[in-house]
Amino acid sequence: MNKKLALAIAYTLTSVMSISVMAAPNGATESQALLATAAKESGRASYSEQTAVKFKPSDNVYLKSALAVNFTPGKATVTLPLYRGLSSTGESVYYIVTESSDFSVAKELGINFAPKMKNAIGSSGAQTVTMNGGLIKFKGNVDFSPQYQVEPGSPNPFPPKVAKPGAIGDAEWSSVVVMPSQVVLNVQMVHNESGSHDRLIALDLKKRTVTMSILDGFQGGKQYFYHLVTDVSAEVPSVLEKGVFAPRLANLPEIGKSTPSDRSALLGFSPVLNGITDTRTGQHQGFTASLANSGIDPINIFPIPPSNNDRSAANNYSPLWDAHVNMWTDAAVKANKVRRITSFEDLKGLVGAGLVTSAFINPEGAGNPWLFGLRPTRAIINCPVIAHPVLPQ
C-alpha cells in the first residue's frame, strides 16, 4: 500500500470513528479513532501486531507500541508514539499512552493491561476527558516552565535542602484519564506550549515520536526492571524521581491497599531511603544515593511485572505505585549489613530480621500487611513498566 492511499484510509477512518464515538462511545471506537488520527497526522502506520517493532525475546519488552528502547544501563531510554490532544482552551498538547484498564483497548494500542485502574472511576484523583474526533480534550494541564532544582541536605542528604519540581500539574490535571466509554487510560502529557517533561530526551512533533529517559529497578531478584516515571502525587518524590508534581493523584483510591480484591487503583512498592551512596561499590541504592550523586535515579524494588495476557481477577498490576519507603535500621548500619535489596522476597526477610523498617516519613500511618507491615508514605508514583531485559549483571 502506498503512502497516499494509507493516509486516505486513515483520514476516512478518523471521520468514521469520530461519528461512532459521538454516537455510542466505547473503548474500541475510541482507540481506533486515536490510532487513525495519529496515523493521519504523523504519516506513520497505526500500531498493530504487524507494524510493531520486533524486539528480541530476551529484551522482554512489555510495552509493545514502543518504537525503540536503549537498554544501556545508566543511559536507558524509550521512544514512544506521541499523540496530540487539546487543552481545555483548545491549544495542542502532546502526550503518551502506556496503560489501559480494558484488555481489548490495551491490545489495540499496544500498551500494558492494568485492570486495577478501573477503580479510579468516580474518584477525585482521576481526570474525566472528552473526545473531539480523534483527539482527547483534557480538563487539566501541566506547567513545564518551572526550573527543576534539588540540593542535598546537610549533614544527611535526605531530606533535601532544596526540592523544586520542574513541572507542575494544575488542580484538574491527572494522568489517570477516564474516557467517555469509562475505559481508564494512563496518559502523560510530555509537551505543550510551556515546555517539556524533565525526562524528555528528544521530541519530533512532525513524526510524532518522543524519547524519554527510563529508570533502573529490581524485580524478582533481577536488575534492569526499566520503568518510566511520569508524575507523582507528592512534591519531594516528584523531584527525586523527575516526574510531574501532580497533587490530584493523591486522591486516587486507596493508599495502603494492594491486593486484587481491594477497591484500589494502586499497587504497593518499596523505595529505599538510606542505602549505600558510593557508586563505586555497585551497591548504591535509594534516595540518599540519588541526592549524594547529583540527582542520579534511585533504584527501587517492585513486586510484579505487567501481566498483559492475564484477564483473570488475579491480575494485580498497576502503574500507580503506592510508595512504602523503607530504611535500614541503626543496627543494620552498625553491623555493616547494608547492601542492595533485590526483590520483595529479599525485603521480606530483611524486615523479618529487624534490619529494615519503615522510613520516618508519615510516622503515624498504619502498616500494610501485604507489604510486610511497612507503612505507606502517602506518595503515589506513576511508573509504567517498559521492559525487563536480560543484560549482563
> Number of C-alpha atoms within 13 angstroms, CB side, residue 334?
4
Rg (the chain; Cα; Å): 21
Report the share of the chain in percent with pLDDT over 90.
Answer: 91
For 111-131, what is the mean pLDDT?
98
Helix, coil or strand: residue 269: strand
For 308-313, what is the mean pLDDT?
97
Domain boundaries, the chain: 3-387
CA distances from 247 to 125, 235, 252, 325, 361 (A): 9, 8, 10, 19, 18
Report the share of the chain in percent with pLDDT over 70.
Answer: 94
Residue 163 has pLDDT above 90, yes or no: yes
- pLDDT given for residue 49 in this prediction: 92
Length of the chain: 393
Residue 293 has pLDDT above 80, yes or no: yes
Q: Mean of the per-residue pLDDT values for the chain?
A: 93
State the Cα–Cα distance between residues 193 and 85, nearest whole angstrom. 12
* 8 A C-beta contact, residue 160 and residue 150: yes
- Cβ-proximal residues to 110 (8 Å cutoff; 6+ apart), any chain: 47, 48, 52, 63, 64, 65, 66
State the Cα–Cα distance between residues 11 and 35, nearest whole angstrom. 11
CA distances from 211 to 41, 145, 267 (A): 18, 19, 26
State the Cα–Cα distance between residues 61 and 224, nearest whole angstrom. 12
For 50-71, what is the mean pLDDT?
97
pLDDT band at 2 (very low <50, low <70, confident <90, very high): low
State the Cα–Cα distance between residues 174 and 138, nearest whole angstrom. 10
CA distances from 65 to 94, 110, 114, 333 (A): 17, 5, 16, 44
- Cβ-proximal residues to 259 (8 Å cutoff; 6+ apart), any chain: 316, 370
State the Cα–Cα distance between residues 115 and 102, nearest whole angstrom. 6
**What is the amino acid identity at position 216?**
D
**What is the amino acid identity at position 176?**
V
- pLDDT given for residue 362 in this prediction: 81
- Cβ-proximal residues to 80 (8 Å cutoff; 6+ apart), any chain: 63, 65, 66, 67, 96, 98, 209, 210, 211, 212
- Cβ-proximal residues to 334 (8 Å cutoff; 6+ apart), any chain: none
Alpha helices (H) along 153-311: 235-240, 287-292
- Interval 312-359: pLDDT, tens: 999 999 999 999 999 999 999 999 999 999 999 999 999 999 999 999
- pLDDT given for residue 25 in this prediction: 74
- Cβ-proximal residues to 221 (8 Å cutoff; 6+ apart), any chain: 342, 343, 345, 346
- Interval 225-271: pLDDT, tens: 999 999 999 999 999 999 999 999 999 999 999 999 999 999 999 99
CA distances from 112 to 104, 187, 269, 389 (A): 11, 12, 18, 16
Residue 97 has pLDDT above 80, yes or no: yes
Residue 196 CA, chain-centre distance (Å), reads 16
- pLDDT given for residue 263 in this prediction: 95
Residue 174 has pLDDT above 50, yes or no: yes
DSSP per-residue string spanning 114-166: -GGGGGGTTSTTSEE-EEETTEEE-S--EE--SPPEEE--SSSSSS-SEEE-S
- pLDDT given for residue 7 in this prediction: 45
Alpha helices (H) along the chain: 3-23, 27-42, 103-109, 235-240, 287-292, 330-334, 344-352
- Interval 4-50: pLDDT, tens: 544 444 444 444 444 344 455 799 999 999 999 999 999 999 999 99
Quote the Cα angle for 190-195-200, to 5°.
45
**What is the amino acid identity at position 366?**
A
- pLDDT given for residue 176 in this prediction: 98
- pLDDT given for residue 24 in this prediction: 54
* 8 A C-beta contact, residue 253 and residue 261: no
For 121-145, what is the mean pLDDT?
97
Residue 288 has pLDDT above 90, yes or no: yes
State the Cα–Cα distance between residues 377 and 80, nearest whole angstrom. 31
- Cell 503512502 -> residue: 3
pLDDT band at 111 (very low <50, low <70, confident <90, very high): very high
- pLDDT given for residue 128 in this prediction: 98
For 46-69, what is the mean pLDDT?
97
- pLDDT given for residue 21 in this prediction: 41
State the Cα–Cα distance between residues 7 and 261, nearest whole angstrom. 45
